[in-house]
Structure 1
Amino acid sequence: MRHERLTVRITGSGPTREKAFATAMRQVQQRVGKQATGTCYRVEPVDLAVESAVEHRWTERFLGLLFPRERTRFELTLRIEVEVASLDLAAVDFTVREERLTPLQHALHMR
């Protein structure tokens, strides 16, 4: 079992601030899994810092002239420090159990 600290930088975007944050947080475990050694079984956030937060606003119009509406999109870039607990499965010794089926059991798909 190993414990290590990693820092990941993630970006999320969405139509609201909450959805942008949720999109970013969904990426944490995937990014940590790529960087960590072994198989991760616990990812615990330790520190979170906002690197950039941008709100994009624009006006959409139907057919370029009619029905104007305001649109917004939020982009959030976070730097998250996490503590990762992982297990190296290559170092685990597995015992091998081999079963032999009789021809009748094999024919009946029984164990």
Structure 2
Amino acid sequence: MEKRQCMKEVEKNLTITAQGNSIKTAYGNIFSILRKKVYSEVEGLIIYMEPLNVYELEVKKHSYTEKFLGLFMPREKNNCEVTAEIVVKIKYIQC
């Protein structure tokens, strides 16, 4: 029986935007989205996935004051939106 190479290696550039209460939370959401996106785009069994580079394209910070019933207990709320381009190295078995 002849041996056949099944494992493929590819690099993908993905641009992802995510939101969170802080920049740290937004980046965590980006990598959660990244994992789902790679699994949906690659046909086969993914063995290894490594982010090689992360390029921050845009960061937006929004702050606003939230009040209970419009008058009571004002508090500062933050929302961050991060857009990043990620270069990912993927090793997978093509079935």
* TM-score interval, smaller chain: 0.7 to 0.9
2, 13, 21: which one pairs with 1:15? 21
Separation in 2 of the partners of 1:58 and 1:68? 10
The structure where helix makes up a greater share of residues is 1
Q: 2:72 aligned with 1:72, yes or no?
A: no
1:40 aligns to 2:46 (yes or no): yes
Q: Secondary structure at the match of 2:36?
A: helix
Q: Secondary structure of the equivalent of 1:27?
A: helix
How many residues are matched? 89
Residues in 2 aligned to 1:45 and 1:17: alpha-carbon distance in whole angstroms: 18
> In proportion to residue count, which structure has more strand?
2
Aligned to 1:53: 59
**Any unmatched runs of 5+ in structure 2?**
1-6
1:27 corresponds to:
33
Over alpha carbons, which structure has the higher Rg?
1
State the Cα distance separating 1:36 from its structure 2 match. 2.1
Identity, in percent, stands at 26
Alignment match of 2:12 (pick from 6, 11, 23)? 6
Q: Which stretch has the larger CA shift, 63-72 or 28-37?
A: 28-37
Q: Which residue of 2 aligns with 1:92?
A: none
For structure 1, which runs of at least 5 residues remain unmatched after alignment?
A: 90-111
CA RMSD of aligned residues (A): 1.2
Give runs of ≥4 in structure 1 deviating > 4 Å: none
Letter in 2 for 1:8: L
Higher relative contact order (CA 8 A, sep 6+): 2
| Distance in 2, Cα, partners of 1:76 & 1:63 | 31
